[in-house]
Chains A and B, each alone.
Chain A
């Protein structure tokens, strides 16, 4: 059976540095930090008082008061990014076979704010379970693709992927596969996350996972810098329309890039710490390259997981050097989390968008906030520190790794007939 070619025909983004794709991309190229002090709750007693929040966003203005309160913020974000992507792809659903159009959507946690509010309310009561009937359908993370399918009437494959910070990438890989296999023609894919609340920040703080650079939030996310001290929490959403090439051509769609490979692996090592030698990271990049039929010399840009944690940045770099060999010195590496913070289950989606646009525009967004070299990293590697770099980007690879030891990696290539 011959696999179909899969192309990217639409993009949507709601991020801490831009509320749509053009604003997001321009902020990435300009090296804008999305970090600031948290506005959504009182952080007085919290170790970390900053994050990369979505800005100038009011769900009631978009959905109306009645509908807005039936959705958790991670669903608000999903709906907005999906809508931008659908419009961008110029998908005219009434004239398409919507039984063959699906939604496969990632989230790492789902409706954490809803869970927090409802359980807090119960705990404050007399033991009578007065849960809101929307508690469960607001919280469950698969409700995001559910809402998207209802809005547009899409009756193809519909589910969520859950692999912590790799969730968005796993959604892209599943979508890629179902289109390749001929199960669906078009899939709205991506991911969203909204964990900047008392439970999310408190929980990640307890793990010592977050940066505590409260005196300078804007430079706290500093992947590959000697003084990095943890990730900066982010929130938002990214949506990617994947479509079979034949379907895209038949309707005259614009094509951003071709998706050519997806790889998956597990560290099988520790629930939260990366494998010290990056074995799972090396394996996932290998698997993606093999799937794409490419070799390491074909990759011009790696959008790394690069969360700015002391251990994670080292193990991923070891994996790149050991797999790519001399080719590691010819490509650009960057962590756009230096600007957006870490969007967890949405990270794979917004970073795929950065990779797709790098391929389309031949420019690599930077790793900002680089001040001090860390001798742990090979100085011959090009981390694209502080300034975007123009170069030919034939292909870009995007890595994401999640708690649980889940790894996922995808490859996008310039579209050629």
Chain B
């Protein structure tokens, strides 16, 4: 697991209060991990803070699963 992937998972575990083994790449924040719309916004903000990137709203809308978050950050974090 990449460094980015493990940091993303740690944030999700912390913020959504879920078990680490639930945080699979396919897991949807809202359908599988119990996030509501505000939780999702908060997650995106945490990713921005952790990785020092700005995720535009139109990009953030496409980040709905753990795997999508990891893929986006692996591509955009320098």
A132 in the interface (beta carbon within 8 A): yes
For chain B, the bracket of interface size reads under 10
Chain A 347-360, CB within 8 Å of chain B: the 1/0 string? 00000000000000
Number of interface residues of A (CB under 8 A): 9
Q: Is the CB of B42 within 8 A of A130?
A: no
Question: Of A64, A65, A67, A132, which is within 8 A of B42 by CB?
Answer: A132
B1 in the interface (beta carbon within 8 A): no
Q: Is the CB of B16 within 8 A of A66?
A: yes
Chain B 60-73, CB within 8 Å of chain A: the 1/0 string? 00000000000000
B39 smallest CB distance to A (angstroms): 8
Q: Is the CB of A134 within 8 A of B49?
A: no
A106 smallest CB distance to B (angstroms): 26
Contacts of A134 in B (CB 8 A): 38, 42
Q: Is the CB of B38 within 8 A of A137?
A: yes
- What is the CA–CA distance of A66 and B45 in the complex, to the nearest angstrom? 16
Interface centre among A64, A66, A130 (most CB of B within 10 A): A66
- What is the CA–CA distance of A137 and B41 in the complex, to the nearest angstrom? 14
B17 in the interface (beta carbon within 8 A): yes
Chain A 53-79, CB within 8 Å of chain B: the 1/0 string? 000000000001111000000000000
Chain B 23-51, CB within 8 Å of chain A: the 1/0 string? 00000000000000010011001001100
- What is the CA–CA distance of A161 and B21 in the complex, to the nearest angstrom? 45
Contacts of B48 in A (CB 8 A): 130
- What is the CA–CA distance of A137 and B17 in the complex, to the nearest angstrom? 19
Q: Is the CB of A130 within 8 A of B45?
A: yes
Contacts of A137 in B (CB 8 A): 38
A133 in the interface (beta carbon within 8 A): yes
- What is the CA–CA distance of A66 and B38 in the complex, to the nearest angstrom? 13
- What is the CA–CA distance of A137 and B38 in the complex, to the nearest angstrom? 10
Contacts of B15 in A (CB 8 A): 66
Chain A 124-139, CB within 8 Å of chain B: the 1/0 string? 0000001011100100
Q: Is the CB of A132 within 8 A of B45?
A: yes
- What is the CA–CA distance of A133 and B48 in the complex, to the nearest angstrom? 14
Query: What residue in chain B is nearest A132 (Cβ atoms)?
Result: B42
A288 smallest CB distance to B (angstroms): 42
A367 smallest CB distance to B (angstroms): 45
A211 smallest CB distance to B (angstroms): 40
Contacts of A64 in B (CB 8 A): 17
Q: Which residues of B contact A (CB under 8 A)?
A: 15-17, 38, 41-42, 45, 48-49
- List 18 A-B residue pairs with CB atoms under 8 Å apart, sorted by A's residue number: A64-B17, A65-B17, A66-B15, A66-B16, A66-B17, A67-B17, A130-B45, A130-B48, A130-B49, A132-B42, A132-B45, A133-B38, A133-B41, A133-B42, A133-B45, A134-B38, A134-B42, A137-B38
